[in-house]
Amino acid sequence: MTRALPYGRQLIEDDDIAAVVAVLRSDALTGGPAVTGFETALRSVTGARHAVACSSGTAALHLAAMALELGPGDAVIVPSVTFVATANAARYVGAEVVFADVDPATGLMEPQHLEAALKRCGTARPRAVFPVHLNGQCVGMAELGELARRRGLFVVEDACHALGSVQGGRLTGACSSSDMAVFSFHPVKTVAMGEGGAVTTADDRLAERLRLYRSHGITREAADFLQPAEAFDAGGQPNPWYYEMARPGFNYRASDINCALGTSQLAKLARFKTRRTELVEAYGAALAPLAPLVQPVGRRPDCVPSWHIQVVRIDFAAAGTNRAKVMRALAERGISTQVHYLPVHRQPYYRALYSDTALPGADAYYDRCLTLPLFVGMENAEVERVVAALKAVLS
């Protein structure tokens, strides 16, 4: 029987299940050694000095905005082709969002797009840029990071699509050209935690803030206490029950259950990346006869992607159809597809908040993009099946 193909799914194996069961049989379901173990493993695969685990990629973005102390009057530059969470994180702290355009072939923000967005900040003070690595490919961070530094901007990489990607010989997440990088471990990502996220950074001070804000803003470190009369006994020893909250944070902790799964999955990252690359190459060969009607996304020559999703660009008008019809026809054949993404500047909240911005690259990318199935457990024959179905639907 032909199986249904989702656009993405996790691969959970027996050792992943065993890792979770071991935590369930332990004394610590949260706040225990599995969290530290996951952070150590993530530092290893990203080359980061610090890795701070949290409950989701969205939480990671919010924590990064808080750690940078962004707030009202500040402007954060965000490419419009991304998930809404990238922009929303700026709004969570009261900052303004200025949307940047992207390359219509790759969906990635380039330095010229950042320069154009900076000219549209109005009275808001530009403080940060959140470049987004899309589909597994990376923004040109060396150039973008250098421009951001010259403009006095903090840089937070939204690397939720790019765990394991390499650019210019540098691992994504090492933060060689940024202040922080954020990751998601949602089930459709390359590595799954169920739900989970993380922030990496090379900055000790930012790492300390991230850890503080992910757990209600509470500290139990005696050196940080601000109320000595409350904190210490007559002998100068910290009271064993005492903690302080100087600033409010959130309950953004990741559990040991999620982190045990994440650590087990991180050990397979190289294998997962290799298999996803093989499938993307199989797609490339199978799709070639459909050009120019159907084309893969443009490639950056300086990036070795860890592919997250398989996006193609389709000239629906030339095919005499539209995206909705194509998606429905593929679904009837057991093939699920998706769109990544409706440009965020076209979402009703942001349209009401800001006047419409002309971002032709983002609109052009969105008008043609379609996400086809890609996951580690997929067979090459299923790639052929997807492309054959797409060809039949378009013709």
Q: Which residues are catalytic?
A: 189
Burial of 322 (0-12, 13-18, 19+ CB in 10 A): exposed
* Omega of the bond leading into 228 within 30 degrees of 0 (cis): no
* Omega of the bond leading into 341 within 30 degrees of 0 (cis): yes
The structure tokens listed for 72 are 């009202």
Using alpha carbons only, give the angle 67, 70, 72 rounded to the nearest 5 degrees: 150
The structure tokens listed for 122 are 């109005």
- 392-to-2, 204, 387 alpha-carbon distances in Å: 17, 55, 9
- 217-to-31, 60, 127 alpha-carbon distances in Å: 15, 15, 23
Say if CB 181 and CB 199 are below 8 A apart: yes
The most distant pair of C-alpha atoms in the chain lies apart, rounded to whole Å, by 84
